[in-house]
Structure 1
Amino acid sequence: MKQLIYIIAAAAMIATGCRKYVEIDQIGKRTLTYTKDYRAILDNNSQLEAGFFMPIYSGDDTRILDSLKQVQLLDIPGNVYSWQAQYWGDTQSDSDWEKLYKAIYTCNEVLAGVMDSKNGTDADKRQLYAEALTHRAYAYWCLVNIYGPQYDSATAAKDLGVPVLLTPDLFTPLNRASVAIVYDRIITDLKAAAADLPTLPDYNTRPSKAAVYSLLARTYLMTRDFTNARSYAEQTLALQSGLLDLRTYQTSATGFPYRLADPEVIFSKVNANAYPFAGVQLDTALLSLLGTKDLRYTLFVRPGASFSPAFTGFGYWRQKYSRETNMVTQGPGVPEMMLIKAECAARSNDAATATDILNTIRTRRFRTADYVALTPGTAQQALENVVNERKREFFGTGLRWFDQKRLNKDAAFARTVTRRFKGVEYILEPNSPRYTYPIGTKYILLNPEIEQSIR
């Protein structure tokens, strides 16, 4: 048990088989004593800003057509790309699983000790406690949506989610909680955190009320509670509504903001591993949907010749503009909240509101001379427009994988995805169990109480 906890949590203050690392001061280490100690570990962005990585390869906005690029793809990303039954060998690590549980362990350390820490005000302690709840909720949102089946109210109480760890106890059982229990924990933690957080953060890597409301909007969207999803999206937008105008950069990308200064970023989370240096090749259907006049195409897409090694096709380029080559933003942002509101409006037969929101976004995504405003049609047409706009807005980030998964519950959007990889055709049917990632064999071998996902 201790060994597995170390592997899935990877906590800096735990050594395999050595419980004293969480009980007394160690040479070269410092026991968490003062409130400022807890502030320091929550500001460790290398641990707590981690999002996810592998879903970038799963989604249908990625399409590796270049045969040489296929050969160059490492075994684990190749398995993910082709939706294999298992992605990892018996001794291979899952970087997403480990980094997200490492963040959870860190949050649990804060939750267990910060209120009893020294030399801090009660308000400071409550804020740090709330920040830890928010970071933990984000990690569980990622985990349950990667390793659990899509939330379905009819089956969520019995569907396998992920282990829910609420304390830094080395001996906590690691049985998988149901999807319903994981979602309940996410919502409970977020609602508990809101009161003690600032409206907006000093730095967008820190939680805030806006971050909490945006994560609640995301969470309720995944559960198809469109009333609450819209409400929390609107509450978020009442606090933060900055929207990049890509027309500013149509002739020069100089001055494109870093993520920490990006007015669209509400809560900064980034891919949990280095973004592929050679770039992710983009799907041809996505490129067709974008069209050549969309500034998201002209700015954020580059021919394969621009990458090293070069490839035939086109790759994702946006992260290079902010001089953060390996940082792809995956936390909630203003455009996402606007699109959640628009989707919920369309689903409630309010095509006019949905279309107005789309036009607000899209006027900032096209040269003025090139833009033709959308006009309200039916609610279903508006919903289709919102879904397509999400494809345009979030490509290359991995967020499309979660949209595919949830939209399979809508007959109008359920799609069969096919890929040819290294001469073999792979098919992903709507609502396939392959939409649920397997648990790494390594973790189950070390702790058999973790059940494997149905594949």
Structure 2
Amino acid sequence: MMMKMKELLCINAIVCLLSLSACNEFLDKKQDIKMVVPLTIDDATHLLNDYGTMNMGYPIWGELGIDDYYVTKEVWESGMEDYRNAYIWADKPYIDVAQWQRPYKAVYYANQTIDILSKVDPQQDRTNFNRNLGMAHFFRAFAFQVLTEVHCLAYQPNTASADMGIPLRLSPGVDDKSTRATLQQTYDQILKDLKKAVQYLPMVESVRGRPSKAAAYGGLARAYLNMGDFNNAYQYADSCLQLRPELMDYNTLKATDESPIKQFNIEVLVPISSVSTGLMSGMNAIIAPELYNSYAPDDLRKGIFFKPNPNIVGTYLFKGGYNENSFELFMGITTSEIYLVKAETACRIGKISEALSAINTLRKSRWSKDVLYPAINENDPERLLKTVLEERRKELVFRGRRWSDLKRLNLDNRFKKTSSRQLGTEQYDLPAGDLRYAFRLSETLVKVGGIPQNIR
């Protein structure tokens, strides 16, 4: 639908943004209209209503290297070079810059919105002023966090002030030079933005695609979990679920449907998707046997998430998750994820009854009602944590969380692992804590933008 706006962005911003994505009607310019800058609360609303920019096109470089799937050598050889290299963790220069640029386009729109709102009277429309300001801070934080999860090392308090983060673009000036902040500065900014979002976002958001206060709480729970701050992660997960506790009953879904899970279901706090998955698409990615076999027979997720592979007997493909397709990853925030954050962090900080309540609430909603639900009753913190992490992997399959989870769990001797790929006679390994977990930047960024490459 055509966005009705009286103004367009300045020429150099248009040139920059048009290089980042396909046609965007907001950026179309009529030949007889002069360029002017957006100025009003309505202008800010139109910017943030661009679903294709704010909610789509987030990077999957790290996820291409996760251990939840594999592809045949023939499929691998048919992929684009950058995707092939990402699959086997080849530390080679790659050219594709779009997966870096697209999140920064969302950051640009967020910064433009914050700049507009800094110059208007909030009382003109206090409701939309607050909503837009909260959304801008939320999406800026979300983009920063996704890029950090892909391109930075795992957060460690004793090294974060020296480790490289990402460029923190905080103003809409397109000519400002990009420099990499430290990882500590990066997470500080993510937390600051999400706390601003909590302050301004509404309790209830009726428009699909927009975050509410619960989504911002969920974002904070994610960020603190990545940082290993389990007390804060628990508190924000609990705050999120106080507002939005809903879960789908998988008994109401039809495993025979091509896409059993609907895109805007009651669990979705904010819908966000990746670029095209390529090698990870539903026709290519064969689910790792140890993952597929970890689901109990009465666990409905097994039939909802997967289908038999018609090309290789005895193997299974991903049917498609919360996007209603298997060609993009759902990367948004859901209540099911937050139940898992609460369960894990509660276990880690000694709140065993809360951990059991959270994990059983989630798991029961995924279990067949034809049998008695086998509740988890483990009281030993070590064994319970292991169980919760296993449930996390089973629940969040192809939801954009595994790469980040592998990275952070590799800091814990109890859970670190070496990932391996087999292509014909060649085996490729990614040891725990390897520097390649900070996915290298595109050579275009390094050469043209002068941004430092990740250390090797």
Match of 1:111 in 2: 114
- Structure 1 residues 408 and 357 mapped into 2: Cα distance closer, same or farther (>3 Å)? same
Note if contact 1:418-1:426 (Cα within 8 Å) is conserved in structure 2: yes
By how many angstroms is 1:421 displaced?
2.6
* Cα displacement (A) at 1:201: 1.3
Q: Which residue of 2 aligns with 1:159?
A: 163
Note the 1:109-188 alignment, pairs <5 A.
109-117=112-120, 120-188=124-192
Q: Which one is further off, 197-206 or 271-280?
A: 271-280
Pick aligned residue for 1:270 from 267, 273, 278:
273
Is residue 2:65 matched to residue 1:47?
A: no
Structure 1 residues 204 and 223: CA distance shift in structure 2, 3 A: farther
Shift of 1:375: 1.7
1:381 matched to which residue of 2? Answer: 383
Distance 1:36 1:122 in 2: 12
Aligned residue in 1 for 2:77? 71
Query: 1:190-339 alignment to 2 at 5 Å?
Result: 190-250=194-254, 253=257, 256=260, 258-260=262-264, 262-273=265-276, 276=281, 278-305=283-310, 310=311, 313-319=315-321, 323-339=324-340
What displacement does 1:360 show?
Answer: 1.5
Deviation, 1:243, is 0.3
Larger mean Cα displacement after TM superposition, 203-212 or 330-339: 203-212
Residues in 2 aligned to 1:61 and 1:255: alpha-carbon distance in whole angstroms: 20
**Do the aligned partners of residues 33 and 164 (structure 1) sit closer, same or farther apart at CA in structure 2, a change above 3 Å counting?**
same
Structure 1's 250 and 451: CA in aligned 2 closer, same or farther, altered over 3 A? same
Asked if the contact 2:201–2:211 (Cα under 8 Å) also holds between the matched residues in 1, the reply is yes
1:139 Cα deviation after fit = 0.3
TM-score (norm 2): 0.87
Superposition deviation, residue 86 in structure 1: 2.6
> Measured at CA, do residues 340 and 421 of structure 1 come closer, stay the same or move farther in structure 2, by a change above 3 Å?
same
Q: Which amino acid aligns with 1:62?
A: Y
* Residues 253-276 of structure 1: per-residue CA shift (max 9 Å, x gap): 49955322x111111111133563
Identity of aligned residues (%): 26
Structure 2: distance between partners of 1:198 and 1:326: 32
Aligned to 2:240, what secondary structure does the other structure show? helix
Distance 1:280 1:56, change over 3 A: farther
- Structure 1 gaps, min length 5: 16-20
Q: Once the 2 structures are TM-superposed, how far is the Cα of residue 324 of structure 1 from its aligned partner?
A: 4.0
Tell me the distance in 2 between the aligned counterparts of 1:278 and 1:346. 37
The whole-number CA distance in structure 1 between the counterparts of 2:292 and 2:349 is 30
Q: Which amino acid aligns with 1:155?
A: T
Structure 2, unaligned stretches of length 5 or more? Answer: 1-11, 22-26
Q: How far apart, CA to CA, are the structure 2 residues paired with 1:255 and 1:283?
A: 20
CA shift in 2, pair 1:87/1:58, >3 Å: farther
CA contact 1:200–1:239 (8 Å) conserved in 2: no
For 1:442, the equivalent position in structure 2 comes to: 444
Kindly indicate whether residue 68 of structure 2 is the aligned counterpart of residue 61 of structure 1: yes
CA distance in 1, matches of 2:423, 2:163: 31
Residue type at the aligned position of 1:102:
K
- 1:102-153 CA-to-partner distances (Å, cap 9, x unmatched) read 1111111111123435894244223212211110000001111111111000
Deviation at 1:323, TM superposition (A): 4.3
Alpha-carbon distance between aligned partners in 2 of 1:353 and 1:241, rounded to the nearest angstrom: 14
Does the CA-based 8 Å contact 2:259-2:319 persist in structure 1?
no
d(CA) in 2 for partners of 1:330 and 1:255? 17
Does the CA contact (< 8 Å) of 1:242 and 1:264 recur in 2? yes
Instruction: Give the conservation status (yes or no) of the 8 Å contact 1:204–1:266.
Output: no
Q: Is 2:350 the partner of 1:344? A: no
Shift of 1:297: 1.1
**Distance of aligned partners of 1:114 and 1:13 in 2 relative to their CA distance in 1, 3 Å threshold:** farther
CA distance in 1, matches of 2:357, 2:197: 32
CA RMSD of aligned residues (A): 2.8
CA contact (8 A) 1:258 1:323 kept: yes
Superposition misfits of 4+ residues, deviation over 6 angstroms: none
Q: CA deviation at 1:311?
A: 5.1
Instruction: Assess if the C-alpha contact under 8 Å between 2:111 and 2:170 holds in 1.
Output: yes
1:159-193 alpha-carbon deviations (Å, 9 max, x no partner): 00111111111232212110000000011111122
Higher relative contact order (CA 8 A, sep 6+): 1
Which string of whole-angstrom CA distances, capped at 9 and with x for unpartnered residues, describes residues 239-290 of structure 1? Answer: 1011011111256549955322x11111111113356362422111111212
In the alignment of these two chains, the number of paired residues is 432
2:401 pairs with 1:394: no
Taking the aligned partners of 2:13 and 2:85, their CA distance within structure 1 comes to: 26
Distance 1:28 1:143, change over 3 A: same
**Contact 1:45–1:205 (CA under 8 A) maintained in structure 2:** yes
Q: 1:428 to 1:84 in 2, by over 3 A?
A: same
